[in-house]
Amino acid sequence: MTQAMRFIDSAAAASRRDSFIESYWPTISDEDALGVAISKWAEWEGNKIMETFASALEDSNYHTERAEILDLWNSRNGTDLR
């Protein structure tokens, strides 16, 4: 496991602890916990969240999907994210 992956695991655990009621922790996926952490890190700013999401898609070789999602985002928000 790389240092970055350990950091992400740690961030998910911290977000789960900091953002959810303890009795719900077992039901909160890492994806949900990280999504909340990213939202807070981005200060709930949609473009910053979308850029983060788009970078993850690009790194995972979902180039076409990334382009389609950004086109939709840009058309609805009057932005020009690339």
Cα distances (Å, whole numbers) of residue 61 to 3, 15, 53: 22, 27, 13
Q: How far is CA 12 from the centre of its chain?
A: 11
Digitized pLDDT (tens) for each residue of the chain, 82 residues in all: 799 999 999 999 999 999 999 999 999 999 999 999 999 999 999 999 999 999 999 999 999 999 999 999 999 999 999 9
Q: What pLDDT does residue 1 have?
A: 79
Q: What pLDDT does residue 72 have?
A: 98
Q: What pLDDT does residue 9 have?
A: 95
Residues 39 and 23: their CA atoms lie apart, in Å, by: 22
Q: What pLDDT does residue 50 have?
A: 98
Q: What is the pTM of this model?
A: 0.88
